[in-house]
Amino acid sequence: MAKKLGKKARKFANKHLQGGAKRSRKLRSQFNRRTRKDGKGREDGGRLDGDGDEEMRRSEPTMNTQEDVATLANSLEFPEDENEFDGDLSDSDGYLSEDPECPHYSDSEDGDVVKDCIVKDGLDGQNNEMNLAVKKQKKKLKKLLDKDPEFANFLGKWESELVSHESDEDSDEQDEMDSGDDGVDAGDKNPPSDKILTSKTISEWCQLVSKDPKAPALRNLLNAFRDACRFGLHSNSLSTQRLQSTEVFYQIITFILSEADNIFRSLLDIPDDDKGKLMNLRNGQKWQDVEPLIKSYLRNCLDLLSQLTDNQILTNVLTRLRASAVYFSAYPSTSRRLLKILVHFWASGDQSLSLSSFLMIREVVSLLPDCLDLCLTKGYNTYLSSSKLVDNRNIKNIDLFMNCLVELYSLDVQKSSERAATSVGQLSAILRQVSKSKEKEDLLKIDNWQYINCINLWVRFICVNYKDCHNVHSLLSSVAQIIRGVAYLLPGMRYLPLRLKLAQMLNELLNCNQMFFPVPSLIFGCLEFREIFQKEQTEKTNIHFSSLLKVPRNLLKSRDFQEQCILSAIEVLSAHFAQWSYHVAFPEVATIPLILLKRLHEQTTIDSLHRPLKRLIDQVSENRDFVQRKREVVSFSPNDMSSVESFLEDEKMSGNASFTQYYESVSKNRQSRGRKFV
Amino acid sequence: MGKSSKKNKVILAPPLPPELDDDEIVVSEDDFDFVKENPEHACSIARQDIKAFDKFVTRVADHDDEKVELLYEERERKRRAAAALKPRNDDELEVDPVDALPVKTLDGNVVYNRPAKKARSGDEANGVKSRSQDKGAGATQGSQKEPKGRSNKKEDSKLQNVQSPTEVPKENLHSVVLEEVKEELSSDELFEKKKAQLAELGMALLEDPESNIRSLNDLLILCNDMDQKIVQLGIMSLLAVFRDIIPSYRIRQLTEKELAVEVSKEVKKTRYYEYTLIRSYKAYLQKLIALEKQPYFYLVAVRCLCSLLDAAPHFNFRESLLASVVKNLSSSNDVARKLCCEAIRSLFRNEGKHRGEATIESVRLIAAHVKLHDCQLHPDSIEVCLSLKFDEDLGKDDSKEDKLKPKKNKRYQNRDVTKPSEKKKIKKEMLSKARQEVRADLRAVSFTLDPKEKKMIQRETLAALFETYFRILKHSMNTSRYKTTSVFPGGSHPLLAPCLEGLGKFSHLIDLDFMSELIACLKKLSGYTDHQGEILPDNALSVSERLQCCIVAFKVWRSNLEALNVDLQDFFVQLYNLILEYRPDRDHGEVLADALKTLLWEGKQQDMLRAAAFIKRLATFALSFGSAEAISALITLKHLLQKNTKCRNMLENDAGGGSLSSLVAKYAPEAKDPYLSGALATVLWELSLLQKHYDPSVSGMASNVLSMANLNATQNPVQLSSANPLEAYNDLSMGRELSKPAGKVLTLKCKRKRRSKEFVALSPDVLRKADCTVGEDELREKLQSHFAVLRGISENERLRTELNHTLSSINMYKEYKKQKKQSKKSRIGRKKVTRA
C-alpha cells in the first residue's frame, strides 16, 4: 500500500508540481526509501564496498570457518528474508457493511471553508489558477460547440474512444500497482455510502458509540476511519469525495485512535492486555462478531501509518496504537508488515518517534515471538546502516537506537547470543584479515563507525546479559580481543578518540565481569606532554571526541585537542580506578599512572587542565593512602583469594568513600558535557 | 610497369641460402642460457628482427627504386670482387656471416636465419647507423671496420686489408646514397632499427666474444644515442654481455718490459682482446656512473652497477663499482637502496668470489661514507654489515698452529739428531721446496686464501667496522644535546639502532682494549647520569634505544666470558628506571622483553636488595600494561624469585614488615635507585589482582608465582612454560594473537531463556519521555494540515485532468475541421469524377 502510494505521489509530484516538489520531498522523504527494494536501499546508503547481494550471501551465519573468512568482505549485516508476505487482512479492504439507520446530516459547513483557508499550502494558489483556466477553456469549448453542433458528435465519438483506450491503460497500470485494492466497490453487496460526511454526523456517531459500544454507528465510524486513512490514495475514489473538510478528518482519526481500544475491549470483555484470554476468545462467538471490526481497524491503522509523515503525529498514533498491540498478535503477517513499518520509523532519527516505535515493536514481538527474528535482523541491519556516519547531531539517536536494540536482543538471550556470536565472529574475521595485510585500504575496514558501533552494540549487550547467560561469557573474551586488536592496529595520536572509545567499552565490559584489564595502557599516549605548536587562535575550534574516530591532522597539535585529550583520559582513568578503588592492590594499580599524571601536571602549559589533573591526583593519592592504611592492619597474604575478595567489602557496599563520590561527579560532568554538545 | 619489375627484382634477386633442416641447426648451450637469462633481450630480437628488416626492405623498395637498384648492383659488384679475391673460401662465403645469428621465432624456436636478403639489408642498416654515429672522424673507417668485426673466423685480416682499398671509393658512393635513404626514415623506424642492431651486436658478442670484441665499442657508441630508450637498452645489453664475457681473473696492466718482448700471434691476439675488453669495460663503467646522476637513468644505472658488482667482484675497476654502490646504500629511493643492500650483502656472503678483498674495501668505503656524512645516513647503509661473516676459529687456529709448530720442530730436530743422513736431508729439502713451489702456484691460481692472509683481511674488516660503530656511538653521544632534524627514519640518530644491533652481534670480536671505553660510551648513551633523580629531558635517545644500549653492554660483557672487570650496576639502575618510562605504543615491547631477558633472566644470582626492587617494580609494571608485557615481566619476576629465595618473603604478608626489612623502612615506588626503594618490606599484592587478569595465561602465571609462597626455599613450583621473557612476549603480542585461528564461540544452554518485561538497557528517564504526547491543539493542526495537503494534491490532480481534457477537446476541433474539409474535397472530387 505504501509502495503504491509513494509511487503515485512521486509520479504526481514529478509531473505537475514544480513548486510543490520540494515540499513534498521534504514531507515524504522516507517514501523514497520505502519504495526502493530493501537491498538496493542499503547499497545506496553508502556501502563501503559495493555489491550488496554477494556480500549478503557471504555473511551467512555459518561463516565461522576458515575458508569463509578468506572470502569475507566487509559486510556485517545479517541476511534478510526478502519474502513478501501477504495474508490475513489484505484479502479484504476493510469495508464494513453499514447500518443504513444511522443518522446522516448533510448540513452546509461554512465554518470549514474558512478554517481550510487557514491551512494554506503551496497548492492552493495553483489550484485556484487552474480552476480559472478550466473555466475559461470550458467556455471556449462551449462556444465552439455552439458554433458547430456537428462537432459535438465528433467529440462524443472521440471521447468514447479515449475512454476505452484509457481504461485499457488504467487496468494495466492498476495490475501493475496493486491488484488487491481494486475491489473498493466491486463485488460488495452493500455498496459503501457516498454521502458526504459532515462534522455533525461524526460527532453524533461518536456520541452514540461512546454511549454504547455496540451501537451500529461503530461500523459507520470505522468506515469513515477507513476512508480517512485511505484519503488521497485514489484521487477519484469515493473516499476522497466523502471527506471534504479537515475538521471531519481530524474528528474521525482522533476519536477512533483514542477510543477504539476501549471499545473493542468492552466488546470482547477483556479488561487488560491478557494475551491468553484473547487467544481463548478467538474461537468464541464474541470474537467472530467483533473480528471484522478489529480487522478493519488494524488494517486502516497500517494505512494511516504509512500515509502520515509528521513525526509528532506518528508518535501520537503509535502511542495510542500500542494499547491495541495485543490484537495484532492475532494476525501474524499483518504484524510483520507493521513491524517493517515500525523498524523504519525506529531508524528515522526522531527521538520520540524512534522510542515509541521501538516500544510498539517490543510490545508486538513479546506477544508474537515468531516475529522476533525478523525484528532482530531488520533492527540490526538498520542499526548498521544508520550508524555509518556519526556526527554531533545523530550521536544521541544512535545511542538510543543501540540501547533499544539491546533491549530487543535481551528479550531472548539464547537466540540473540547466537546471533551475537555470528556477528562477533565476523568482526573478528575482518580484524584478522586486516592484520594480515595491514594495508591502508584494509585498515579502513576497521577504521569506520560501522565497525566500532557494532562492537559497541555487543559490548552493551554483553554487559546487560552477562549475569544470565554463559554464552555471553565466551563472547566477552572475543569482544575484548577485538577491542585490543583494533587498538593495536590503529596506533598513534590521531586515533586517540577511537582509543578512548575502546577504553570506555573495555571499562564497561570489565565492570560487569570484574576481571582485570590494564585499561590505562591504552591511553598512556594522551598523558605524554607535548608541545603546542599552533598559534593562538581567535576562534575556538570545537573538537568533540564523541563524534570523531581520528583527529584531523591540522588539529593534532592544537591546544583544544590536547585539552580534550587529557580531560577524556581523566575520565577513563577515573573509571578504571573506581573499579579497583577498594581492591587491596589499588596503590600498585595507581603507581605508574600517578607518576605520569604528576609529571604531566608539572609540565602542562594549559592552565585549564591544572585543576582537573590536580583533583584526580589528589583523589587517587588519598584513596591509595586509605587502602594502604587499611591493608597494613590485615594479616592475610596475597594468595588468600577469599580474604582478598572480602577486603573493604563493607566500604564498597556503602559506597561513600571519597573516590567513589569523585568518580560519580566526573561521570556526571561528562554527561552534562555531552548534553551540551547536542 | 618497369618500376614494378624492378621492385620484384629487389625482393626476388638475393640468392637464397641453402635450406637447412631444423636438425642441422646447432644451438649451443650458451645461447640457450643467454635466452633464458635475458628473456627480454631474446624476445626483442625475436620481435624486432624480421619485422624491422622487412620494413626496411619494403620501404626502400617503395620509395627510391633507382637507388635501390644502385644498391643492388653495388652489392653484386662487391660480391663478385670478394668472390674473385677468395676463391678458396667459396664454400664458406656462401653463407653470409650475419646469418650466423640465430633468431628466435614467435613460437619460441631458435632458428638460424638464412635468407640473404634480410641479412644484407641488416648489414646495410648497420652501416648507416655506425656512420651516423661517428660522422666526420671516419665514416668510411667505421664501415670498413664493420665487416672486419663480423667477418668469418677463418678470414684473416690480411685478406681484409687487401679488400678494403678496392672498396673505399664504392663505399663512399654507397654512403651518400644511404644517407639520403636514412633521411627518409622516421624516428620510429630508427628506434626499431637501433634496437635490432643492439640485439644483433649483443648476440654476436655472446656467440664469439674473441673475434667480435670490437663490437663492444659499437655498443658503447650506441649508448650515447639521443634516444633515452635506446641508451637504456644499450646499457642493459652491455650489462648482459659483460656479465657473460668477463673472465674469472683480473686483467693485469702489462709492464713496459713485457710489452717490449716479442710475443707470439696467439698472445698478441689475447692481449688485444683483453685490452679492448678492459678499455670498453672502463668506458662502460664511466658511462654508468655518469648516467647514474641523471634521474631518468638512475634506477637502471644502479641496477646495472649492482648486477656487475654481483657478477664480477674480482674484476678490474671494482673500486669505482664499489664506491658508487656504497654511495647508493643510503639512497632515498627505496628500490635503489634495496638493490645496493642486496648487492653488498651478496658480496659479503660469497667471499670466495673475490677472496675477501671486496669485503674489506666495501666496509672501508662504508666507514668513509659514514664519516663523510656525519652519521646522517639511512639505517640500511649500516645494516648491511650485519651480514658480514667472521670466522670465529681464526684466532684459535693461529695459536694452535703456533703451539704445534715448535713441537714439530723439536721432533724434527730430534729426528735430525738421531738420523743425520745428509743425502736424505737434501732430498727432503728439495722435496719440500718443490712442494712449496707447487703450493704457491696453486694458491695463486685458486681463490683459497691461506689462513694468515684471511685473518689479516678479517682483522682489517673488523677494524673498519668497529671504527664505524664507534664513530656512530660517539656521534650519538655528542649530539644528544641538540636535536637535529633528520630525513631518515629513526629520529636524530638514524644509524644508532643498526649500530647497536651490530655491536651486539659482533660483541665477541671486540678487542678487549676497546671494551672499557665502549662500556662507558654505552653507559652514557643509556642515559645514566651521576646526578641521581633527574632525567635529562633533552636526551634525544628513545627508551628503546637506551634499552638496547643496556642489552649491548651486557652482551659484550657476557660474550667476553664475563672476564671483564666492569661494573654493570649502572645498567641495572638504568633498566630499573626505564621500566617506568615504557609506553606501549611508542616503544618496542620486544626490546624491553629482550632487556629483561638479557639483564635479569639470563643473569646470575642477583643482589637480594636489587632483586627485590626489580620484583616489586615488575609486578607493578605488569598491572599497567598489556598482557604480552605483563607475561614477560611475570616470567622474569618468577625467575628472580626462584634464584633469590629470600625474596619469597614478599609473597607473604608478614606482620611488621618482615625481618628482612632493609635500611629504608618505607617503600618508595618511584625510587630511582633499586637499593633505596625499600621493596623488600613490601607485599606483592599486585599478584592477587593479576590473578583476575582477563588473559588466562597472565592470571595463570600470577597464581603460579603466588603458589611459591607455600613452598620451601628449595622447591620450585610447577613450570608453566620454559619460554624466556622475549619468547613469551612475542607469543602473546597482539600481532601473533591475531594470526592464530579464531576460537569458535561456544553456544551453551542458558539458564533463563526469556526475559520478562523489565527494561535492561534503557534508562527509565528515557522511557518516561516516550509517553509524553503532543498537545491536542498541535495534533489537530498537524492532522488538519496533513489532510489539507492530501486534499490539495487530489484536487490538483482532478483539475489537471479536467483541464487537459478540455484542452484536447478544443484541439480536436481543428482536427474536426480538417476532416470536414477533406470530406468536402473528396465529395467535390467525387462529384468531378462522376461528372467526368
Whole-angstrom distance, CA of residue B282 vs CA of residue B294: 19
Average pLDDT over residues B479-503: 63
C-alpha cell at B654: 608478614
Residue-wise pLDDT tens digits, B100-111: 455 555 555 544
C-alpha cell at A313: 503525529
Residue-wise pLDDT tens digits, A136-167: 888 888 887 777 777 777 777 777 877 777 66
CB contact (8 A) between residue B692 and residue A528: no
Could you report the predicted ipTM of this complex, rounded to two decimals?
Answer: 0.71
Within 8 A by CB and 6+ apart from B375, the residues are B471, B472, B475, B476, B493, B494, B495
Q: Locate cell 513548486: which residue?
A: A19
Given pLDDT bands bounded at 50, 70 and 90, which one contains residue B459? confident
Given pLDDT bands bounded at 50, 70 and 90, which one contains residue A19? very low
Residue ranges of B 673-712 with Cβ closer than 8 A to chain A: 683-694, 703, 706-707, 709-710
Candidates A521, A582, A586, A627, partner chain B, best to mutate (most B CBs within 10 A): A521
A677 contact B CB<8A: no
Whole-angstrom distance, CA of residue B525 vs CA of residue A110: 98
Candidates A408, A531, A637, partner chain B, best to mutate (most B CBs within 10 A): A637
Residue B117's pLDDT is: 41
Whole-angstrom distance, CA of residue B617 vs CA of residue B670: 9
- Reference A594, options B679, B537, B620; nearest CA is B620
Residue A283's pLDDT is: 64
Q: Work out the minimum CA distance from B594 to partner chain A, whole angstroms.
A: 20
Residue by residue, DSSP assigns B310-336 as HH-TTSTTHHHHHHHHHHGGG-S-HHH
In chain B, whose CA is at the least distance from the CA of A645? Answer: B688
Alpha helices in A438-470 (DSSP H): 440-443, 449-465
Residue B684's pLDDT is: 85
Query: Which has more confidence, A151 or A534?
Result: A151
CB contact (8 A) between residue B754 and residue A521: no
A589 contact B CB<8A: yes
For residue A297, CA distances in Å to A256, A320, A323, B668 come to 9, 13, 13, 77
CB contact (8 A) between residue A413 and residue B750: yes
Q: Report which listed range, A213-222, A260-269, B683-692, is most confident.
A: B683-692
For chain B, what percentages of helix, strand and coil (3-state, to nearest 5) are there? 70, 0, 30
Whole-angstrom distance, CA of residue A677 vs CA of residue A661: 25
Residue ranges of A 299-358 with Cβ closer than 8 A to chain B: 307-310, 312-313, 315-316, 319, 351-352, 355-356
A231 contact B CB<8A: yes
User: Does the pLDDT of residue A78 top 80, yes or no?
Assistant: no
Question: How many Cα atoms within 13 Å fall on the side-chain side of residue B432?
Answer: 6
Residue ranges of B 245-274 with Cβ closer than 8 A to chain A: none
Phi first, then psi, for residue A68 (nearest 5°) are -65, -35
C-alpha cell at B198: 643492439
- Reference B477, options B495, B489, B498; nearest CA is B495
CB contact (8 A) between residue A154 and residue B585: no
Q: Work out the minimum CA distance from A539 to partner chain B, whole angstroms.
A: 32
Task: Tell me which chain B residues have a C-beta less than 8 angstroms from the C-beta of A510.
Answer: 694
Query: Which has more confidence, B70 or B271?
Result: B271
- Reference A493, options A529, A519, A459; nearest CA is A529
Query: Which has more confidence, A534 or B464?
Result: B464
Greatest distance between any 2 Cα atoms in chain A:
120
Contact B736, B730 (CB under 8 A): yes
The DSSP call for residue B87 is S
Q: Locate cell 515500525: which residue?
A: A342
Phi-psi region of B657 (alpha: psi -120 to 50; beta: other; left: phi over 0): left
Q: Count Cβ atoms below 10 Å from residue B11 Cβ, excluding itself.
A: 11
Q: Work out the minimum CA distance from B476 to partner chain A, whole angstroms.
A: 23
Task: Tell me which chain B residues have a C-beta less than 8 angstroms from the C-beta of A133.
Answer: 803
User: Does the pLDDT of residue B400 top 60, yes or no?
Assistant: no
CB contact (8 A) between residue A485 and residue B759: no
Residue-wise pLDDT tens digits, A80-103: 655 544 444 444 455 666 555 555
Find the CB nearest B755 among A133, A316, A411: A411
Query: Which has more confidence, A526 or B729?
Result: B729
Q: Count Cβ atoms below 10 Å from residue B772 Cβ, excluding itself.
A: 10
In chain B, whose CA is at the least distance from the CA of A423? Answer: B745
User: Does the pLDDT of residue B13 top 70, yes or no?
Assistant: no
B491 contact A CB<8A: no
- Reference B616, options B663, B684, B699, B675; nearest CA is B684
Residue A29's pLDDT is: 43
Query: Which has more confidence, A562 or A625?
Result: A625
Given pLDDT bands bounded at 50, 70 and 90, which one contains residue B17? very low
Burial class (CB in 10 A: 0-12, 13-18, 19+), B437: exposed
Residue-wise pLDDT tens digits, A301-354: 887 887 777 777 777 778 777 777 777 777 777 888 888 888 888 777 677 788
Whole-angstrom distance, CA of residue A228 vs CA of residue B786: 11
Q: Work out the minimum CA distance from B816 to partner chain A, whole angstroms.
A: 7
